[in-house]
Amino acid sequence: MLNDATAFWEQFRTDLQPLVQAVAARYPLGPRPYVERFFSGLRALEGNPQVLTYVESDLGALGRSLALIDILTAGGVRVSGARCLDVGCSNGALLRAAKARGAGRCLGLDTSEERLVSARMVCADSGVEFLKADAREELPDEFDLILCTDVLEHVPGWARVVERIAKALAPAGAAFISLHNSRHPTTILSEPHYGIPGLSLLPFSEAAPLWARVRGALGNALDYDVYEWPSYTELATIARSLGFTPTPWTDSAWMRAPFWHGYQDRRDALLCNVATALDRLTLPPADASHLLRAVSSYCELLVQNHERFERTVNNRLEFYMLYYAQPINVLLRQA
């Protein structure tokens, strides 16, 4: 039932407590009252086929956050004693993890009061502070470590958030930004918030109205709008203009490997999987055709770019960040 959405919802409707217990056991870092509150919120989403993605995204955040803080520390980012700001803090998991690793003052910002209620529950008695605020406006300063994960793709005018981060960061501090890579095959097949193949390839002017048309038919009641998916190049360009040195946070062993090998097989698999997924979703024919054309165009360009890359194998990092980094992780320090 924790691996099949249909079975999950059947258990949810017929005998909820064993399901709550199973989820609590899978995610033991989450306070039990928070797990129960999470389930009460699922009632508004009953039947949503993306439910298992949402469960992992929310309740699995505590474990992922501890791992991320430890990776940052191992990479030379100061966490112990640091003043930490989490922009778009959601359920506060990153700040709880930072506190567990010795961070000083921790402040979380979010525009959603509902998410802040969750965050206060997750971080109860930890000393973490929370504030309802829009990160495109002025941010409190100064902070030694600013975190911004899975936020920019949900913000209209995302560059303003990066500008505010630049103003709030202490001179010797670091900012860590993470976002989904819209050009990665897994995102193209099913961007986790929406579950519509090819949506991340469309410009905002096309993606937003398409999402508005089909979300009801897909049973997706979550309050997600479509904005933009910044690329690494776009993010790095804005960061440099603000006086930052952007450093992609990548796996060096992966970077040394011939990561691009087998791209034709991946292209074929993506086309096949997208066509199957679109048939299963039964979208309006015009929308399904539009999405499939977008994916087909992406695949043609992918092959052309890979063939060009294989002839020279230059700009290796940029190529990796374009097609293979998932998510896009970038550390910003003042130049």
- DSSP element (H, E) containing 122: helix 113-122
The pLDDT score that the predictor gives to residue 219 is 65
Residues 266, 170 share a domain: no
Q: Are 72 and 39 in the same domain?
A: no
| Structural element, H or E, at residue 171 | strand 169-179
Please tell me the total count of domains within the chain.
3
Domain shared by 47 and 101, yes or no: no
Residue 69 lies in a domain: yes
- Residue 280 is assigned to a structural domain of this protein: yes
Say if residue 133 is in the same domain as residue 199. Answer: no
Considering the domain boundaries, does residue 331 fall inside one? Answer: no
In 3D space, the residue among 215, 225, 220 whose CA is nearest the CA of residue 45 turns out to be: 220
* 221: in domain: no
pLDDT in tens, 187-234: 999 887 888 999 999 999 999 999 988 887 776 656 678 888 999 999
Residue 293 contacts by C-beta under 8 Å, 6 or more apart in sequence?
Answer: none
Task: Check whether residue 195 and residue 310 sit in a common domain.
Answer: yes
Assess if residue 274 is contained within a domain.
Answer: yes
Residue-level pLDDT at 221: 56
Determine, yes or no, domain membership for 34: yes
95 & 20 share domain: no
* pLDDT < 70 regions, the chain: 219-223, 252
Per the confidence metrics, is the pTM higher than 0.75?
A: yes
145-156 pLDDT, tens digit per residue, is: 999 999 999 999
Q: State whether 298 and 199 are in the same domain.
A: yes
Quick one: how far is CA 118 from the chain centroid? 18
**Structure tokens that stand for 166 in this block:** 């630049």
Q: Is residue 195 domain-shared with residue 296, that is, in the same domain?
A: yes
Q: Is the same domain home to 193 and 311?
A: yes
Instruction: Provide DSSP, 9-54.
Output: HHHHHH-HHHHHHHHHHHSTTS-HHHHHHHHHHHGGGTT-TTHHHH
Domain co-membership, 272 together with 157: no
Domain co-membership, 189 together with 314? yes
Domain that holds residue 105: 61-179
- Same domain? For 161 and 49 the reply is no
Structure confidence at residue 87 (pLDDT): 97
- Round to whole Å and give the CA distance between 301 and 200: 16
